[in-house]
């Protein structure tokens, strides 16, 4: 980075930190993007004059609200709900809803900010947004989750709509929660529209939406590996998480000939040296999605596997790592362990799972490393395809959706190569994704005037 870019980043970040005190995840996400695009801004100074960066980090709107609900014993609880409507230059706000105890304004803003560039990369007409609550569905009955979702949607419904803001799932929000949220939206608004995505297949959902983030991440990893003449065949894959993204990343990696040896949740990870197979995968699906159990139960069912409580899976030797759980789950020591273990490719399924120090380790070792905003964009892209199907009142086949998904992931990869290839030929996917995503949003904002 030259002197101008360095100065620009430091001044800009000082302002962002002063204006958004304590929002460390948001600062982290902004610093990464502004570091990538500063040289581009230097080359296109009209974007500096238009204060595009200053506008892009300021959400168009933040909605925070009270979510009161009653548990099965009659006790009253109060959670906090959020919707961050970050940027609508390219289309209606679009992004998931997260229910997790850790949710706060900083996490919501970082996710909405990332989403803006990710949605731009998909080439579909979608702006960026994100929402959620510090409510944890873990350990709650179906009836409690339903009452919470109904209370949450009673407020949220006045701020969203098929042409305004289209939420979807994220951590803690899967098919069950989308069902309850959609039911309450429909009841209050008296309309049946595709205002939420990730819907059930019988009521407006798209084939392949549940699979899309994990499958898309594997399609992206295939493209990354191909730049080195490699494939998934015969590779050992370490995956974190055991939720939606991890489940389908594991399934696709297996079908491409890889051996998936780990899965995890927030309590620990399981290591299965023989690798998952179809039967073990089906067990995990039932465990996590039906019984809502913990990943440690895998060890009791398959004694060849070992459970490591309180640990993350990154010390396991592997060729490919796919973090699919949560933000900042790979730190510097984890990254060093992965590099020392011979890992050649890190493809993010989660959002911002790698700390900046860990990214530096991967890039110094010239690993294939992709940020989530590029490699997990298959989920929101397929949500975009669900919106299209809802609008034209048609349903595409799984093959049609899969071919769109495949093409979108390979186009995102090509955009990263175009804007991220460095002088020595190394593909800096972080820079590529940030610059490619930024250009479209920035130009749209410039075209649309000072709004």
Residue 266 lies near ligand NDP (rule: CB under 6 A): yes
Residue 348 lies near ligand NDP (rule: CB under 6 A): no
Q: Are 126 and 384 in contact (CB under 8 A)?
A: yes
Bridge partners of 83?
63, 131
Decide: helix, strand or coil at residue 272. coil
| Among candidate residues 370, 400, 371, the one with its CA nearest the CA of residue 385 | 400
| Among candidate residues 216, 181, 217, the one with its CA nearest the CA of residue 198 | 181
- Residue of the chain from 91, 379, 384, 432 that contacts ligand NDP (CB under 6 A): 379
Residue closer to ligand NDP by CB (options 27, 100) is 100
Using CB under 6 A, which of the segments 65-73, 171-179, 274-282, 425-433 binds ligand NDP?
Answer: 171-179
Residue 243 lies near ligand NDP (rule: CB under 6 A): yes
User: Ramachandran region of residue 422, left (φ > 0), alpha (ψ -120 to 50) or beta?
Assistant: beta
- Residue of the chain from 237, 316, 350, 368 that contacts ligand NDP (CB under 6 A): 350
Hey, which residues between 110 and 149 contact ligand NDP (CB under 6 A)?
none
Residue 346 lies near ligand NDP (rule: CB under 6 A): no
- Residue of the chain from 128, 169, 371, 420 that contacts ligand NDP (CB under 6 A): 169
- Beta-strand runs (E) in 139-280: 165-168, 236-239, 259-265, 268-271
Residue 371 lies near ligand NDP (rule: CB under 6 A): no
User: Which phi and psi angles does 260 have, rounded to 5°?
Assistant: -95, 120
Which 8-state DSSP code applies to residue 173? B
Note the helical H segments in 286-376.
Answer: 297-301, 332-340, 356-364, 372-375
Please tell me the distance from the alpha carbon of residue 437 to that of residue 125, in angstroms, as a whole number.
Answer: 13
Please tell me the distance from the alpha carbon of residue 250 to that of residue 85, in angstroms, as a whole number.
Answer: 32
User: Site mask, ligand NDP, residues 297-326, x = CB under 6 A?
Assistant: ---------------------------xxx
Residue closer to ligand NDP by CB (options 5, 276) is 276
Residue closer to ligand NDP by CB (options 39, 175) is 175
| Among candidate residues 257, 184, 185, 251, the one with its CA nearest the CA of residue 213 | 251
Please tell me the distance from the alpha carbon of residue 380 to that of residue 382, in angstroms, as a whole number.
Answer: 5
Using CB under 6 A, which of the segments 1-9, 235-243, 275-283, 435-443 binds ligand NDP?
Answer: 235-243
Residue closer to ligand NDP by CB (options 92, 174) is 174
Hey, which residues between 418 and 447 contact ligand NDP (CB under 6 A)?
none
Return the number of other C-beta atoms located less than 10 Å from residue 188's C-beta: 14
Q: Are 318 and 341 in contact (CB under 8 A)?
A: yes
Residue nearest to ligand NDP as judged by C-beta position? 243
- Residue of the chain from 33, 171, 318, 412 that contacts ligand NDP (CB under 6 A): 171
Residue closer to ligand NDP by CB (options 9, 251) is 251
Residue 376 lies near ligand NDP (rule: CB under 6 A): yes
Residue closer to ligand NDP by CB (options 34, 108) is 108
Return the number of other C-beta atoms located less than 10 Å from residue 164's C-beta: 14
Residue 242 lies near ligand NDP (rule: CB under 6 A): yes
| Residue 130 known to be catalytic | yes
Residue 205 lies near ligand NDP (rule: CB under 6 A): no
User: Site mask, ligand NDP, residues 96-115, x = CB under 6 A?
Assistant: ----x-x-------------
Among residues 130, 280, 288, 431, the one annotated as catalytic is 130
Residue closer to ligand NDP by CB (options 8, 180) is 180
Return the number of other C-beta atoms located less than 10 Å from residue 299's C-beta: 17
Residue 244 lies near ligand NDP (rule: CB under 6 A): yes
Please tell me the distance from the alpha carbon of residue 128 to that of residue 407, in angstroms, as a whole number.
Answer: 21
Using CB under 6 A, which of the segments 65-73, 142-150, 238-246, 421-429 binds ligand NDP?
Answer: 238-246
Q: What angle do CA 13, 15, 20 make, to 5 degrees?
A: 95
Which 8-state DSSP code applies to residue 73? T
Catalytic residues: 130
Q: Tell me which residues touch ligand NDP (CB under 6 A).
A: 100, 102, 169-172, 174, 213, 241-246, 265-267, 324-326, 329, 349-351, 376, 379
């Amino acid at each position: 980075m030259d002197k101008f870019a360095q100065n620009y980043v430091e001044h800009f970040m000082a302002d962002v930190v002063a204006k958004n005190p304590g929002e460390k995840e948001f600062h982290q996400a902004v610093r990464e993007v502004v570091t990538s695009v500063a040289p581009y801004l230097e080359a296109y100074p009209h974007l500096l004059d238009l204060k595009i960066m200053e506008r892009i980090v300021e959400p168009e709107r933040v909605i925070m609200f009270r979510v009161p609900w009653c548990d099965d014993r009659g006790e009253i609880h109060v959670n906090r709900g959020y919707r961050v409507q970050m940027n609508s230059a390219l289309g209606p706000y679009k992004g998931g809803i997260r229910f997790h105890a850790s949710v706060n304004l900083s996490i919501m803003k970082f996710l909405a900010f990332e989403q803006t560039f990710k949605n731009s990369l998909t080439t579909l007409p979608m702006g960026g947004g994100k929402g959620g609550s510090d409510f944890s569905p873990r350990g709650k009955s179906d009836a409690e989750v339903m009452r919470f979702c109904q209370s949450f949607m009673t407020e949220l419904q006045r701020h969203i709509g098929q042409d305004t803001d289209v939420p979807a799932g994220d951590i803690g929000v899967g098919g069950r929660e989308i069902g309850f949220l959609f039911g309450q939206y429909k009841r209050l608004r008296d309309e049946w529209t595709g205002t939420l995505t990730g819907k059930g297949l019988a009521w407006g959902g798209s084939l392949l939406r549940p699979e899309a983030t994990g499958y898309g991440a594997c399609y992206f990893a295939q493209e990354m590996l191909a730049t080195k003449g490699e494939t998934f065949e015969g590779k050992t894959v370490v995956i974190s998480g055991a939720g939606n993204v991890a489940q389908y990343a594991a399934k696709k990696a297996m079908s491409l000939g890889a051996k998936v040896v780990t899965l995890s949740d927030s309590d620990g990870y399981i290591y299965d040296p023989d690798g998952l197979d179809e039967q073990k995968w089906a067990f995990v699906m039932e465990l996590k999605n039906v019984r809502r159990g913990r990943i440690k139960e895998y060890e009791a069912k398959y004694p060849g596997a070992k459970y490591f409580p309180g640990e993350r899976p990154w010390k396991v030797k592997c060729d490919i790592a796919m973090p699919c759980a949560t933000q900042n789950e790979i730190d510097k020591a984890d990254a060093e362990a992965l590099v020392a273990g011979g890992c050649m490719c890190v493809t993010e399924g989660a959002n911002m799972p790698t700390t900046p120090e860990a990214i530096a380790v991967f890039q110094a070792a010239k690993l294939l490393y992709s940020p989530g905003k590029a490699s997990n964009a298959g989920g929101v892209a397929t949500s975009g395809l669900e919106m299209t199907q809802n609008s034209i009142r048609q349903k595409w086949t799984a093959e049609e959706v899969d071919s769109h998904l495949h093409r979108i992931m390979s186009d995102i990869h090509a955009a990263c190569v175009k804007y991220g290839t460095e002088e020595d030929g190394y593909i800096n996917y972080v820079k590529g994704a940030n610059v490619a995503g930024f250009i479209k949003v920035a130009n749209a904002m410039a075209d649309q005037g000072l709004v």
